[in-house]
Amino acid sequence: MRPSEDRSFLVWLSVITLAFGWLLWPFSGAILWATLLAIIFAPLYRRGVEAFPKWRNLAAFSTVVVVVVMVLIPVGVVIASLVDQGGELVQRVQSGEINLAHPLQQLKAALPAWAASLSDRLAGIDLTALKERLSSLVVPAGQQLAGHAINIGQLTVEFVASLLVMLYLLFFFLRDGDELNERIRDALPLRASHTAEILNAFTLAVRGTIKGIILVAMIQGALGGMIFWLLGLTAPLLAGAIMALLSLLPVLGSALVWAPVGLYLLVAGSVTKGLILLAFGTFVIGLADNFLRPILVGQSIRMPSYVVLLATLGGLATFGANGFVIGPLVAAMFLTAWHIYVGAKEGRQLRK
């Protein structure tokens, strides 16, 4: 084609690609998770193909069944339990069984007289007004949160459709993954070496994100929920879920839950429970990340903790719940692109 025809074709290709992306946008979450799960469970599918070379459909279908049993059913059970415990917690706050200002009152009572009066002068703390303010703000917020949780727990038509689309795509991504990979390599307007490095970095980033971030977060959340349950604390499953969510963020992570609760138990007089929770959080939950992440991630994603933190927060702010995966993936692609650029630049300088 002539240059003008080439430019026209590229414009048309860009427009039709954007239109197709806009058409698929309502199912972007289903497509994303089908792709991620296909990458994660591809080794299992390949083992099935090796065992039954002529039964690729059966191998793909069996892998989808494994995903449903190992991932979707446990997640559904946990969500249902969270909704139940969240509603129970809101009812206890509304009934006054849980007093949100009581910890501050106990903390002030535990302080020496000079320290309590100094804190009042410096911060202007009025515990009575604070109690009324907390009750007026948190109870309605809890009601709204419980309402959202119930809505999330209900199987709406949109949720069921997205789930079915994800499982449907997962089957074909597993079965035709190698062919799709080759087509992507051929379609990208990059050097073969650059294309291979980018796709390899994407695969490693997906596996590293899922295994190194999500799985470790689930383990930390399970440990946190277990210690809350053993100590007889309120809503252990809900606390574990919150710790798992916060564990997605580097630096403090789950300590934002167990550390304040442990300190509160010490102030409230439950010294033994407080010490057990703080010790367990420090030496078991806190160190789980340091020991498990290198084992689970291996040679996968390698990013500084501050990059992971910013990428995760930015992903959550931009893409919602899916952002905790999209953010680190975008960051990994960013670092890979700059690594390729710097390597090519250094290569050109050496040839001069």
* Termini Cα distance of the chain: 35
Is residue 82 over pLDDT 50? yes
- Decide if 60 contacts 174 (C-beta within 8 A): yes
Is residue 145 over pLDDT 50? no
- Decide if 139 contacts 93 (C-beta within 8 A): yes
**pLDDT (mean) for 82-104:** 62
**pLDDT (mean) for 40-51:** 87
pLDDT of residue 295: 63
pLDDT of residue 130: 47
Cα(175)–Cα(173) distance, rounded to whole angstroms? 6
In a domain, 54, yes or no: no
In a domain, 104, yes or no: no
Task: Give the DSSP H/E element, type plus range, for residue 221.
Answer: helix 216-230
Instruction: Please report, for residues 117, 232, 316, the alpha-carbon distance to residue 267 in angstroms, rounded to integers and kept in the order given.
Output: 18, 17, 35
**pLDDT (mean) for 148-176:** 75
pLDDT of residue 195: 79
Residue written as token pair 């087509």: 183
pLDDT of residue 96: 61
* Cα dihedral 62, 63, 69, 71 in deg (nearest 10): -170
User: What rounded mean pLDDT belongs to the chain?
Assistant: 75
In a domain, 95, yes or no: no
In a domain, 123, yes or no: no
In a domain, 346, yes or no: yes
Share of the chain above pLDDT 70, in %: 68
pLDDT of residue 171: 92
pLDDT tens for each residue of 325-348: 888 888 888 888 887 778 777 666
In a domain, 286, yes or no: yes
Q: Which residue has the higher pLDDT, 177 or 352?
A: 177
Q: Which residue has the higher pLDDT, 91 or 287?
A: 287
Is residue 39 over pLDDT 70? yes
In a domain, 86, yes or no: no
pTM above the 0.85 mark? Answer: no
Share of the chain above pLDDT 90, in %: 5
Is residue 134 over pLDDT 50? no
DSSP-assigned letter for residue 210: I
pLDDT of residue 169: 92
pLDDT of residue 268: 75
pLDDT of residue 162: 83
- Decide if 34 contacts 166 (C-beta within 8 A): yes
Name the pLDDT band for 1 (thresholds 50, 70, 90). Answer: low
Range of the domain at 323: 191-352
Domain count, the chain: 1
Most confident of the ranges 76-90, 91-105, 187-201, 294-308: 187-201
Is residue 26 over pLDDT 50? yes
In a domain, 303, yes or no: yes
Instruction: Please report, for residues 65, 108, 291, the alpha-carbon distance to residue 249 in angstroms, rounded to integers and kept in the order given.
Output: 31, 32, 17
Is residue 122 over pLDDT 60? no
